């Protein structure tokens, strides 16, 4: 007898994690660098490590189900009530919960493509159908086309700003105008995983759109806050939606050390944001360098940038690998084949520029 696995699950595309840094260390014999998962290259701040270590002493107990201290810290930081914040084991988990709360078989979820590869998986898991709206030539969301793609069956629209993997951020005014056109019974998920790295004036500020009950903002501690290994993300939204997300969530998902890491990280936010500023400066340096070499790099507002290697994606991926750099290739023969490269250690960024300069594009 076949096992009763739902067809949506049996046919799920696999999430492709960024490969670890290769052991070889590159032709130059130096260290290898992982630039494939948009992680923060800095070690934890001392206060964070100490708080987490102390929290580990309570490992015989279940975590606080309500994530009380972490929720209070995040809500306080954002000037929102605690009834407007729901935590989960990474913002991808929170996205799963959101979609599970609003969509099912027969429904549609609209999102840009190419965009975050977790979206098609999260949509398919609910049994709903994903509606992919192509990016513009500038690697941006086509908000007009996304609005036009909304039908009676649409339950949610996913906006990724800055867009992973291509880099551009949405303009706040454009998102506000978009949201005003979306029916109130359609959720607008504003995924701001990289918002701390956005320095262009006028980029989307999701929390300022929360007066609309159908807007929900997704944030994560994995990128700017450097807590990818602890799996903490959250959403901000209407209290009714927040209750639904909490109801759907796995009980006790966010671990005791992870909750402690959130509280401690927010207490050291100034230092963390100094590091973010240094990464943004590095991003500007590398992207300017690549453009100077003739690469048409789209606007980069996260801690990564897009190299449009098109049909040469595998070749360029090998060139970076030979230099000890693990980057993230996307190659399915479509318009958006290319490499997503994380801004990492200064030496790693230097090496990206060296590889690019060594080969005519
Ligand atoms: C990395 C990322 C996330 C966050 O993932 P976590 O599950 O919080 O680690 C969410 N959205 C996008 C677009 C991302 O790139």
150: domain CATH number is: 3.40.640.10
Q: How confident is the model at residue 1 (pLDDT cuts 50, 70, 90)?
A: confident
Say whether both 129 and 278 belong to one domain: no
109 CB-near residues (< 8 Å, 6+ apart): 99, 103, 119, 123, 126, 128, 129, 130, 131, 154, 155, 156, 157, 158
**The predicted structure's pLDDT at residue 28:** 52
Determine the distance separating the centroid of ligand 1 and the alpha carbon of 141, expressed in angstroms.
18
Q: How confident is the model at residue 19 (pLDDT cuts 50, 70, 90)?
A: confident
pLDDT digits (tens, 9 = 90+) for 286-340: 999 999 999 999 999 999 999 999 999 999 999 999 999 999 999 999 999 999 9
**What's the domain range around 328?**
21-43+268-358
Q: How confident is the model at residue 59 (pLDDT cuts 50, 70, 90)?
A: very high
Cis previous bond, 162, omega within 30:
yes
Determine the distance separating the centroid of ligand 1 and the alpha carbon of 358, expressed in angstroms.
33
| Number of domains into which the chain is organized | 2
Say whether both 215 and 332 belong to one domain: no
CA–CA gap between residue 59 and residue 333 (Å, rounded): 48
Using a 10 angstrom Cβ sphere, with 0-12 exposed, 13-18 middle and 19 or more buried, the burial of residue 360 is exposed
109 assigned to some structural domain: yes
Say whether both 138 and 274 belong to one domain: no
Determine the distance separating the centroid of ligand 1 and the alpha carbon of 17, expressed in angstroms.
12
3-state secondary structure of 299: coil
pLDDT digits (tens, 9 = 90+) for 65-105: 999 999 999 999 999 999 999 999 999 999 999 999 999 99
334 assigned to some structural domain: yes
- pTM tops 0.85: yes
Shortest-distance Cα residue to atom 11 of ligand 1: 193
Q: Ligand 1 pocket, 160 CB below 6 A?
A: yes
Q: Ligand 1 pocket, 220 CB below 6 A?
A: yes
Q: Which atom of ligand 1 is nearest to the CA of 228?
A: 9
Q: Ligand 1 pocket, 222 CB below 6 A?
A: yes
Shortest-distance Cα residue to atom 7 of ligand 1: 90
Shortest-distance Cα residue to atom 4 of ligand 1: 91
Asked whether the predicted pLDDT for residue 27 surpasses 60, the reply is: no
Shortest-distance Cα residue to atom 10 of ligand 1: 193
Say whether both 31 and 76 belong to one domain: no
Residue to mutate (ligand 1; options 111, 167, 220; most atoms within 8 A of CB) = 220
* Dihedral sign, Cα of residue 331, residue 337, residue 341, residue 342: negative
CA–CA gap between residue 114 and residue 130 (Å, rounded): 13
Asked whether the predicted pLDDT for residue 169 surpasses 60, the reply is: yes
- Which of 187, 194, 133 lies closest to 156, judged by CA? 187
Q: Ligand 1 pocket, 303 CB below 6 A?
A: no
12 assigned to some structural domain: no
**The predicted structure's pLDDT at residue 23:** 54
């Amino acid at each position: 007898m076949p096992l009763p696995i739902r067809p949506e699950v049996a046919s799920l595309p696999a999430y492709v994690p960024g490969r670890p840094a290769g052991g070889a260390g590159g032709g130059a014999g130096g260290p290898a660098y992982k630039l494939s998962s948009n992680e923060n290259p800095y070690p934890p701040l001392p206060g964070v490590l100490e708080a987490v270590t102390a929290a580990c002493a309570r490992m015989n107990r279940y975590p606080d189900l309500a994530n009380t201290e972490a929720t209070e810290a995040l809500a306080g930081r954002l000037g929102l009530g605690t009834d407007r914040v729901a935590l989960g084991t990474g913002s991808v988990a929170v996205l799963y919960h959101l979609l599970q709360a609003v969509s099912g078989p027969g429904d549609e979820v609209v999102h840009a493509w190419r965009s975050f590869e977790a979206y098609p998986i999260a949509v398919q898991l609910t049994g709903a159908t994903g509606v992919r709206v192509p990016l513009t030539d500038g690697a941006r969301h086509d908000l007009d086309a996304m609005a036009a793609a909304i039908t009676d069956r649409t339950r949610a629209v996913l906006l990724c700003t800055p867009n992973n993997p291509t880099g551009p951020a949405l303009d706040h005014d454009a998102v506000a105008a978009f949201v005003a056109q979306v029916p109130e019974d359609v959720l607008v998920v504003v995924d701001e995983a990289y918002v701390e790295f956005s320095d262009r004036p006028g980029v989307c500020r999701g929390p300022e759109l929360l007066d609309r009950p159908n807007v929900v903002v997704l944030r994560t501690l994995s990128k700017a806050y450097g807590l990818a290994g602890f799996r903490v993300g959250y959403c901000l939204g209407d209290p009714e939606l927040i209750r639904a997300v909490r109801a759907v969530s796995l009980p006790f998902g966010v671990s005791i050390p992870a909750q402690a890491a959130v509280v401690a990280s927010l207490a050291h936010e100034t230092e963390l944001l100094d590091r973010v500023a240094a990464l943004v400066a590095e991003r500007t340096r590398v992207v300017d360098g690549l453009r100077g070499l003739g690469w048409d790099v789209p606007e980069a507002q996260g801690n990564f940038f897009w190299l449009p290697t098109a049909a040469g994606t595998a070749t360029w991926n090998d060139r970076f690998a030979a230099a000890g750099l693990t980057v993230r290739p996307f190659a399915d023969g479509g318009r958006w084949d290319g490499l997503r490269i994380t801004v990492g250690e200064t030496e790693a960024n230097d090496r990206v520029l060296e590889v690019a300069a060594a080969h005519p594009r």
